[in-house]
A and B are shown apart, each in its own frame.
Chain A
Amino acid sequence: MKKPIIIVASLCLSGVVLMGTLSGKDVDQGTLEKLKAKYAAKHLPSADHAAFDALKKKFTSPRQVTEACISCHNKRHLEVMSSNHWNWEREEYVEGRGVVYLGKKNAINNFCISAGGNEKSCAKCHIGFGLDAKGKEYSDPKSVDCLVCPDNSDTYAKAPDEAGAPAAALDLNAIAQSVGRPKRANCGVCHFFGGGGNNVKHGDLEKALFEPGRELDVHMASPGANLQCVDCHTSEKHNISGKLYSLSSMNQNRSTCDQCHTAAPHADGVLNEHTLKVACQTCHIPSYARANATKMFWDWSTAGKLRNGKPYIEEDSMGNHAYMSIKGSFTWEKDVKPDYIWFNGTASHYLGGDKIEDPSKPLALNPLYGSYADEDSKIIPVKIHRASQPYDPVNKILIKPQLFGDKKGEGAYWKDFNWQTAAKVGMKTAGLPFSGKVDFLKTEMYWPVNHMVAPKEESVKCQECHAREGGRLAGLNDFYLPGRNYSAPVEAGGKWLLILSLLGVLAHGAGRLISGRKNGENK
């Protein structure tokens, strides 16, 4: 009689286990298979540029190439010239500020600080030839660089410190005839090296992504899907989707995971629910800078030390610059666990001339907005780049120094190593006041981490966040996270209830044992 009941009860429990095992898959294979098929199809170019006569006549300058391009694509240059790649600014609505025009042109970051006045060096990554501070080039269609993006010969290169002009001795005809769909190399040559070296800025965009393995990036893996940047960053009339919040403020024209994977990509309902509050990147990018280190801290205050009157460079154990006389000291890190913040797609920015409220606290140059209570916010991974950078302690504003210069004595910091003159010249160019005093201010920049999506086996595990202590989300404390949060009174009350119950029954039982024996003796 006992057995059947125990069997039924244990059948019931094994039912739990069985259902659990059978419902254990967590990827919707259908969508993935379709995506794989779509991106395995070979790209067929719609024209062979090598066959066009306009590209056969001998080019002696890059401007001639642009003219040849415009002779057929006779309106395309206008699209380029209205893009933010060209203008280095776009209109942004910033909460509390209204509409501002913001971009590389006028922004202040905590790397090389500001492009203004330093165009000759910075414009190596401008999609034009010869960008100068006066902005003359902005209006000349022949200055549009039609080769840097679609070059498929892998030979086009820009010259350093030549304001965007290409390197000398290029076979411009071969390059012009090779043009096609932009490849990772075309975008990466600028976007992987922003800030003056590989992986300085982003942490998730670097030269290892030219030919990454699957473990570094499942999408771009060259032995796998081999996606190019433009597969996700689609474009319409030279306006490319996707942008970074170092310069952007509005929740629009973003490139998202959803556009391919849908908003509910998991077979597991509990995982799909997470997508309401957790961005895909949070779980699927367990760490960034997995191949090469990224810069985490930049201390401008130590810059200017010279050896025998000459600037010098020191390297750390990984071979990265640890000190440069022209830039100061750096800290690099590899395979970094991101920080996590709430983000609703809007941001603000420190703009030139903004008063610094409290110089004793680190200044966020691009505060990203969001909170648990905000319906549009999700948890996203970010790289926080910290710096100590020059500011004017009297006017309480950040300094845009003149860094680049051709020769000594013009105030350029990289030639003269004098903050006062560099600040004076730089602030004059920017049209900002300068008191004559230079001090250093701690600043932070938030860089959302979007690339280096890991194979699903490497995704962040549940208990890395759902943990009492030291979880990845330990810094986000405005909500109840199962496994982490609890009510201290309920916890203490519950424990005491269990302890007292146990002690109570033990005491009662002991009492029965002792009294039972006594009664037995009495009988």
Chain B
Amino acid sequence: MKKEKEVLIYSGFERFWHWAQAGLMLFLAFSGFEIHGAYSFLGFGEAVRYHNIAAYLLIVLIAFAIFWHFTTGEWRQYVPTTQHIRAQLEYYVFGIFRNAPHPTKKTVLCKLNPLQKLTYFGLKVFLIPATLVSGLLYLFYRHPAGGGIETLTITSLNTVAIVHTACAFALAAFVIVHLYLTTTGKTVTSNLKAMLTGFEDLEGSGCEPAGK
């Protein structure tokens, strides 16, 4: 067995991207559910204004993140695989209660387990784009204006708004589970620490499952 050593697993940009996105999304959820009518805090008008500004910042951030994914090749980490997915599931359902070791090894080249790959792939390819597109339509649609305004004409906000709301619920549920799963690392705080400092004690460097 290789010896564990402290390695840089999350680069500076990756951490910045992660935390900025986390902050923006929390703020978007907070202001968004106020716009939705769930509660009143900022006041509707202010909530809309700040929600829109945060949305633009998030779009800029995502543009940089996409660039980063492709230039660094990090996108490969998110290609979903069925390999060991069962083992990973069994670990969360049974193994974790028996102090069994993680079925997959976390390495710099393979820092996501198969379930994470699947979840993040779904998040990046389906949920976040759906939220973004419905949000942009929400922002830029125009009432039928007899051709007076040269932008998107949508006869009813109904579908756009409801899709956007459904996406928001799904993202909020993701955040709850995601926050909890950060506590399932080697120690309760090791994953959080790694995402903050970038460094984690890891063994090995390849992309192979952990041996029994």
Contacts and interface: CB of A to CB of B under 8 A. Distances in A.
B72 interface: no
B79 interface: no
A466 B50 contact: no
A480 B138 CA distance: 12
Contacts of B50: 16-17, 20
A19 B165 CA distance: 25
Given A16-B50, A270-B48, A519 B23 contact: no
Given A277-B143, A467-B37, A490-B166, A16 B176 contact: no
Contacts of A490: 162, 165-166, 169
Given A462-B43, A480-B157, A498-B169, A16 B53 contact: yes
A277 B53 CA distance: 24
A12 B48 CA distance: 18
B15 A5 contact: yes
Given A8-B16, A23-B49, A505 B166 contact: no
A contact patch SS: helix
B158 interface: yes
Nearest to A378: B143
Contact of A9 (B23, B48, B155): B23
Interface in A7-45: 8-10, 12-13, 15-17, 19-20, 23-24
B205 interface: no
Interface string B34-67: 0111001001111011101110010001000000
A6 B46 CA distance: 25
Contacts of B143: 276-277, 375
B177 A501 contact: yes
Given A1-B196, A482-B157, A490-B166, A9 B16 contact: yes
A8 B48 contact: no
B145 to A, nearest CB: 5
A273 B142 contact: yes
Q: How many of chain B's residues touch chain A, expressed as a range? A: 35 or more
A23 B48 CA distance: 13
A441 B26 CA distance: 58
B157 A6 contact: no
Nearest to A24: B49
Contacts of A10: 23
B83 interface: no
Interface string A364-387: 000000000101100000000000
A509 interface: yes
A485 interface: yes
Interface size class of A (residues with CB under 8 A): 35 or more
A487 B162 contact: yes
A463 B176 contact: no
A234 to B, nearest CB: 24
B20 A12 contact: yes
B37 A468 contact: yes
A433 interface: no
B73 interface: no
Interface of B: 15-16, 19-20, 22-24, 27, 35-37, 40, 43-46, 48-50, 52-54, 57, 61, 92, 96-99, 142-146, 149, 155-158, 161-162, 165-166, 168-170, 172-173, 176-177, 179-180, 183-184, 196-199
Q: Which 9 A-B pairs have the closest CB atoms?
A: A494-B169, A505-B180, A515-B97, A462-B45, A462-B44, A9-B19, A463-B44, A480-B157, A468-B37
Given A6-B19, A462-B43, 20 more contacts: A1-B197, A2-B197, A13-B27, A17-B50, A20-B46, A20-B53, A24-B49, A276-B145, A276-B149, A461-B45, A467-B44, A468-B37, A484-B37, A485-B161, A486-B36, A495-B169, A497-B170, A511-B97, A512-B96, A515-B97
